[in-house]
Amino acid sequence: MKLLAIETATPASSVALGEGRVAIASASKVDRRGHAGFIVSALDYLFDQAGWVPSDVDAIAVDVGPGLYTGIRVGLATAQGLASSLGVPLVPIVSLDAVALGATTGHRHIWSVVDVRRGEVAVASYQPVPGGVVRDSEPRIVRPDHLRALLESDPTNALVVGDWEVLHETVLRGLHRVKSGRPRYPSAQALLGLAVGPVERQEFPSSRDVRPLYLREPDVNIGWTEFRKEGPWSQ
């Protein structure tokens, strides 16, 4: 099974080609605003390194968020365009799942965090299982004080991974059952691991039905009601 994974939901853009869960070629770059330029050159590089052509790909995994609005849109548009032209399925992956899968932990309850700006983070919790993780709470956006309350109410030993470094140090201070760790960002390699199961089970939506997981309204919205009132057709 030949897979292409595209990760642009965070500042750490990455792409990977893999035989199932095993990455054959990968590339990454940390740049909050350089997703589009990175994707084009990285895809050419990957296919050259792997000795593949695009038609070799059996499915495409893409991070649909939550994360950076522009980054999510760039990755999803690229993945949908490729999936449509190649006639292959598109596998949507949640960024929080990809971060949690990359965590190195024994039996700690995992809390995955992704910075969504505006002083807020997206968060979900996971139980480690042999070979992976299982999400046990729905992704949501919270303020730092709410995240601290969630961690305080967790009766187990916990591990916070992801973008916890954007939080004020007081959020985790004094939480003796809580440790912080890596990875900071989701990776295309993690997307490969998460995509294998759905592809094997043939469980994926139409590529046109895959939508970004923003969890809130975009930063910029047009006030259509007021615009129509004030527009030339308002008379």
Alpha helices of 110-201 — where are they, by DSSP H? 144-153, 188-201
So what's the architecture of 2-94+187-209 in CATH?
2-Layer Sandwich (3.30)
Q: Which parts of the chain have pLDDT scores under 50?
A: 220-235
Which among 169, 178, 165, 40 has a CA at the least distance from the CA of 115?
165
Strand, helix or coil for residue 102: coil
The fold of 97-181 is Nucleotidyltransferase; domain 5 (3.30.420)
At residue 169, the pLDDT reads 86
Q: What is the pLDDT of residue 227?
A: 35
What pLDDT is attached to residue 127?
A: 95
For the whole model, what pTM was predicted?
0.89
Contact predicate 50/184, CB 8 Å: no
Quote the pLDDT of residue 219: 54
Pseudo-torsion of CA 206, 209, 212, 216, nearest 10°? Answer: -150
What distance in Å separates the CA atoms of residue 97 and residue 126, rounded to the nearest whole number? Answer: 8
What pLDDT, on the 0 to 100 scale, is given for residue 224?
A: 36
What's the DSSP call for residue 206? Answer: -
The contacts of residue 138 (CB under 8 Å, 6+ apart) are: 124
Q: Do 2-94+187-209 and 97-181 come out as alike in CATH topology?
A: yes
Domain range list for the chain: 2-94+187-209, 97-181
139, 141, 145, 146: CA torsion to nearest 10: -50
